[in-house]
Amino acid sequence: MRLLTHNMLSCNIKGVTNGFPLGLEIVKHEVKEVEFNSDFIRNMFVKIEWKALVDAAKSMGYEELPEEVDSSMLESDEFLKRFHHALLELHLEEGALVCPETGRKFPVVKGIPNMLLNEDEV
Amino acid sequence: MWYLCVFFHRLLDYRKAEVEALAKLFGAFHGEEESFHSLEWKLPQHHHPDCPYHFVNLPSEQIASNIAKRSILVKGIYELWGEGGSYEELEEAIKSYPDDLKAPYMTSDSTFRIIVDSFGNSLTFQEQNERILKFAFIPFKGKVNLKKPDHKFWVMETDNSGSNNGLPPVAQKRIFFGREIGTADRKLLPTYQLKSRNYLGPTAMDAEMAFLMANQALAAPGKLVYDPFVGTGSILVAAAHFGAVTMGADIDIRVVRDGRGPDCNVWSNFKQYGLPMPVGLLRADNNLPPWRPGLKEMFDAIICDPPYGVRAGGRKSGGRKLLKGVVAPYTVPDDKRIGHIPSTAPYSLAECVHDLLDLAVQMLVMGGRLVFFYPVLSEDASSESSFPEHPCFSLLAVSEQILSFRYSRFLLTMVKTGSYTEEVAEEATKMHLDFKENHLKWLEEGNLHSAVFCPNDLQTDVVKESRSNSDPSRKYRGKYV
């Protein structure tokens, strides 16, 4: 699971109002290279919850992202490269996503998060 | 400018739609509104709309060439130098085609060749040569080069002997002579054909169709394409081939996570072709998508083949509760929570399509495309078919593929033209609740499986006969190849 996916997901258990961002429980993570496309990265910039991305990247040991951003930073290739790396190349292979409200764990196995809810959660 | 567009004689309903989608991709509709995405088409004299020869108006040769090269169903796009009912007539036509348009392709430093092609019969080598020699009157100054000519010229003729590959006979033979501008890369298809793919499911999308879907979705580098029913990834493979970044979800975790071993799963299907892996695969329920609140306009296109209960049935969360018909608390004991596999309930087509449209209107960018298959029973198809509608979407293309006497599937291409407002959201929530409350009723109504597979009794034959008597102009169903 890349952090792009993490940035899009929340806990959707019935009644949960504050299911974002999901905490990361990391058992195994790796870096998987993805071809850089600056248009794609620029497009994603406005859609991303920045703080959630920074925190998630930190929990994977990547601390090169600035805490505060504005769109003028998109001029910098260096920034785009870092953003690209954090968004698309950091990969959670084994672990779990943890709901900030209920503590419910969504397992991540072989890089695929299981967001399906149990019968009593829908 | 008008070009001659010749199609492969396949998937007849998909041909123009593909060209129009690619015309959009390559900028032919620059500056026009989203809802006007159709091109001007003309048929050669006396030709049936199903025939492979069409004239199309495109803004430039560059766009025509790009369309042809990326397409799957275009055999070639040509600059027409002349046409006629006989070779004499054709000669006159070519002679009267303006010299300044011909001259750049007949210079002494360029090479050329003439290729003969016919629709409906095949010509022997000698017959082809005879035809080529008829064009000796064209003052080519360059040399012939059969292997790598600078310019290729095509002589294409239709056959006028009786039936025409299952088409109504063409009244009069037509011969075309044109300069090739671009041809399709059909070599893609053997490369991606399903029988050489490592990991397949029962409903893996045929490679040719997957490419057509990716073309309808305008898949291209820098775009994010999502498939909510990803399965073995067969549709995303086509999108990834065209450079799009892909993402997929499925409710069945065995399909996406496990596959059939370490080198036989969704990931390996991308690796096999050297394509970039999807940036996200997850197990999620289309009925209860796990997207964070406020997330919108993420995807440039959504492409999918929803489960409509003929070969594979849809499933959604909340099995036991719905089966009992009560929303009584069903709880999973705490000690069983780890590794618990939640039961799922059947998912009716109507609800599935509703959820898909609701997801698409939220998650697509403005002008983003939703491309999906929709099944229609033939009994309904003879009357005006009704397709799913949404106030925020315009229907751009409808292409039918006849699957059996009983039913067809239609590839629908929709474009998002309205934004996701609170009223739209409210309406969707209301409908969502209705589906939940009347779960069983919706399941019965949408039971396509029994309609498609019910035993063929006499009654349907009678109905068939009376219909063909009463309605002689019934939609033509030729030999679709």
Domain contains A86: yes
The parent domain of residue A26 ranges over 3-10+19-115
Instruction: Look at B256 and A47 and tell me if their CB atoms are within 8 Å.
Output: no
Domain contains A121: no
* Cα within 13 Å of Cα(B126), Cβ side: 0
Instruction: Look at B295 and A112 and tell me if their CB atoms are within 8 Å.
Output: no
Instruction: Look at B330 and A43 and tell me if their CB atoms are within 8 Å.
Output: no
Residue with tokens 């000519």: B149
Q: Could you say which of A12, A111, A120 has the minimum Cβ distance to residue B290?
A: A12
Each as own residue / partner, the long-range contacts of residues B124-129 (CB below 8 Å, 24 or more positions apart, any chain) are none
Domain contains A84: yes
| Contact assessment for residue B158 and residue B169, using Cβ atoms and an 8 Å cutoff | no
Distance CA B75, CA B54 (A): 11
* pLDDT tens readout for residues B73-127: 999 999 999 999 899 999 999 999 999 999 999 999 999 999 999 887 788 999 9
Residue B377, class by beta-carbon neighbours within 10 Å (0-12 exposed, 13-18 middle, 19+ buried)?
middle
Q: What is the CA radius of gyration of chain A?
A: 15
User: What 3-state class would DSSP assign to B255?
Assistant: helix
Give pTM, 2 decimals: 0.89
Instruction: Look at B251 and A21 and tell me if their CB atoms are within 8 Å.
Output: no
| ipTM of the shown complex | 0.93
Residue B432 makes CB contacts below 8 A (sequence gap 6+) with: B354, B355, B358
B182: its two tokens: 């671009």
Instruction: Look at B318 and A119 and tell me if their CB atoms are within 8 Å.
Output: yes
| Contact assessment for residue A80 and residue A41, using Cβ atoms and an 8 Å cutoff | yes
Instruction: Look at B281 and A112 and tell me if their CB atoms are within 8 Å.
Output: yes
CATH number for the domain spanning A77: value is 2.20.25.10
Domain contains A69: yes
Q: What is the mean pLDDT of residues A17-39?
A: 92
Q: What per-residue confidence (pLDDT) applies to B459?
A: 46
In chain B, what residues touch A19 (CB-CB under 8 Å)? Answer: 292
* pLDDT tens readout for residues A101-122: 999 999 999 899 999 888 778 7
Within an 8 Å CB–CB cutoff, is residue A39 touching chain B?
A: yes
Instruction: Report the residue of chain B nearest A114, measured CA to CA.
Output: B283
The DSSP code sequence of A49-87 is -HHHHHHHHHHTT---S-SS--GGGGG-HHHHHHHHIII
Q: Could you say which of B223, B292, B319 has the minimum Cβ distance to residue A119?
A: B319
In chain A, what residues touch B320 (CB-CB under 8 Å)? Answer: 119
> Could you tell me how far CA B146 lies from the centroid of its own chain?
34
Among positive and negative, which fits the CA dihedral B472, B476, B477, B479? positive
Distance CA B175, CA B4 (A): 12
Instruction: Report the residue of chain A nearest B259, measured CA to CA.
Output: A110
Domain contains A61: yes
| Contact assessment for residue B399 and residue B393, using Cβ atoms and an 8 Å cutoff | no
Domain contains A43: yes
Residue type at A62?
Y
Distance CA B276, CA B263 (A): 16
Residue B103 makes CB contacts below 8 A (sequence gap 6+) with: none
* pLDDT tens readout for residues A75-91: 999 999 999 999 999 99
Distance CA B387, CA B390 (A): 10
Instruction: Look at A4 and B331 and tell me if their CB atoms are within 8 Å.
Output: no
Share in percent of chain B as helix, strand, coil (round to 5): 35, 25, 45
Within an 8 Å CB–CB cutoff, is residue A3 touching chain B?
A: no
Q: Which residue has the higher pLDDT, A30 or B350?
A: A30
Q: Could you say which of B257, B320, B343 has the minimum Cβ distance to residue A110?
A: B257
Distance CA A22, CA A6 (A): 7
Instruction: Look at B292 and A117 and tell me if their CB atoms are within 8 Å.
Output: no
Residue type at B63?
I
Instruction: Report the residue of chain B nearest A108, measured CA to CA.
Output: B282
Instruction: Look at B282 and A1 and tell me if their CB atoms are within 8 Å.
Output: yes
Q: Could you say which of B284, B318, B331 has the minimum Cβ distance to residue A122?
A: B318
| Contact assessment for residue B267 and residue B277, using Cβ atoms and an 8 Å cutoff | yes
B77: its two tokens: 């796009």
Percent of chain B with pLDDT over 70: 85
Domain contains A73: yes
Q: Which residue has the higher pLDDT, B253 or B474?
A: B253
* pLDDT tens readout for residues B421-466: 888 888 888 888 888 777 777 777 766 777 777 655 444 444 444 4
Q: What per-residue confidence (pLDDT) applies to B377?
A: 81
| Contact assessment for residue A56 and residue A7, using Cβ atoms and an 8 Å cutoff | yes
Distance CA B45, CA A9 (A): 57
In chain B, what residues touch A49 (CB-CB under 8 Å)? Answer: 292
Those residues of chain B whose CB sits closer than 8 Å to some CB in chain A are 221-224, 245, 247, 251, 253, 256-258, 276-277, 279-285, 288-293, 295, 297-298, 317-321, 329-332, 337, 340, 342-343
Q: How many domains does chain A contain in total?
A: 1
B134: its two tokens: 């008829």
Please count the residue pairs, one from chain A and one from chain B, whose beta carbons lie less than 8 angstroms apart. 107
The strand order across the sheet containing B74-84 reads B41-42, B53-57, B2-7, B74-84, B175-182, B151-158, B111-119, B143-144
Domain contains A122: no
